[in-house]
Amino acid sequence: MTNVLAMDFGASSGRAIVGRYENGKIRLDEMYRFENVPIMFDDKLSWDINKLFSQIELGINKSLEKYKVTSLGIDTWGVDFGLIDEYGDLIGVPMHYRGVDTDKILARVSDFITLQDLYDSTGNQIMKINTLFQILSIREYYPDQYFRTRKILMISDLFNYMLTGKMATERSIASTTQLTNPYSKDWSRTTVDNFNINSQLLPNIVDEGNQLGYVKKSFNCGDIQVINVCQHDTASAVLSIPASGPFLFISCGTWSLVGTELNHPILNKKALEYNLTNESGFNKTTEFLKNCTGLWIVQELKRNYHEDGIELSYEEITKIVEDITAKTCLIDTDDDLFNEPGDMRKRISSYATETGQKIPQELGEFFKCAYESLAKKYNETIKEIEDATGESYQDIHVVGGGSKSDYFCQLIANVTHKNVLSGPAEATALGNVLMQLISLDEIENVAAARKIVANSVDIKRFEPLKSKLMEE
């Protein structure tokens, strides 16, 4: 039996999960869980990178207490990165995507290239948090850091470098930068040249499954191979979806990634108009999707009530919401108003006032507003994807934390009028594990891996129900 370790970093937490492959099934054993909380560094919202790396070390050690680990892989959120100097040291700490000032940079993009040409060159959704705009912001506001930089490493690549001493960028995480070509999946020479970025700052891109090297002897953890999995957490999650034909997916965590898996990018006018993105998946497939706000607003509401001394589990929240029969207001979950940490109740109330809607009063009404607004956003995005692809889909695979809520999955089915298949909940960690096993020749390919998932995980099915409330 082969044991592999998935270090899975989400936008708010991380886990060390051992994956065990035996008798045609995958079993996941969570060994360690920790918070991923940004810090203020030099008055900038940043990632506590040294603490996070110490959590990787703890995760490895706790796993070794129970298992012999053959390999490990790290997946993270996209867009953020660290700067490495000529001595191989980290410059400062990586900035947090919610804290980087890119508004002025984004407004001046047309000085370099038209949005249409930028989209054609990269295929990426235009978002102010994208790596390209962050790099330009650092060059503009922190030139001393930029011109000391010799390599730019995405967060998962940075962790791999800290473990092995080797630098490389895995293809799926590179595709979140707005610096790769949507067809070749390599660095886009056009984009790099248009924005006068030194191409030497960008590491070589490697495929998922690449065996990067072994964990340094100084960590005293034996011979553990570090494998470049699909390091963008969305790519890992999609890899684990047990589908044999065309499908839609919603990877639902702090962010929601709503999309489909294709063999080619889509760069037509509708895709640009709808601000849909083309990112890289396994074997250079394209994940045609949109990044939407996910459970972030629910998480912030939960935190708001926690600060008021009201402790709520997610199960308790959905039970309260189910008992709310009255209509509540709907918000645009992607509005900048809801992007930053803060009191979401005040912001929802402000949005409701400005749009002439009923202001929520009770706890359950605020949460119901968040869930129903998310479902509405998913429905809008799915219609855009179907319009841009010219395809119609019947099934939506909901994976990640949101798939654990029967209430939410049924709500999505009702609003989209499509069947919802929920699970796996640990899709990202599972995809991470599967790619390691493929790299180690324990599993033949992704098609075989997805069949193994179908045998290993219970998938719930939710069919749309006619509801007077939904019809209204």
Active site residues: 233
Strand partners, 19: 4, 28
Query: Alpha-carbon distance 348 to 441, whole Å?
Result: 51
Q: What string of DSSP letters covers 249-312? A: EEEESSEEEEEEEESS---SHHHHHTT-EEEE-GGG-EEEEEEEE-THHHHHHHHHHHHTT---
Q: What are phi and psi of 187, to 5 degrees?
A: -60, 140
Of 296, 240, 226, 335, which Cα lies nearest the Cα of 5?
Answer: 226
Query: Alpha-carbon distance 131 to 154, whole Å?
Result: 9
Strand partners, 239: none
DSSP type of residue 107: H
Query: Alpha-carbon distance 21 to 351, whole Å?
Result: 49
Interacting residues of 441 by C-beta distance below 8 A, sequence separation 6+ = none
- Yes or no: say if 10 and 253 are a contact pair by the CB < 8 Å rule: yes
Burial state string for 423-441 with b = 16 or more CB within 10 A and e = fewer than 16: bbbbbbbbbbbbbbbbbbe
- Yes or no: say if 123 and 182 are a contact pair by the CB < 8 Å rule: yes
Q: How many CA atoms lie within 13 A of 377 on its CB side?
A: 24
DSSP type of residue 442: S
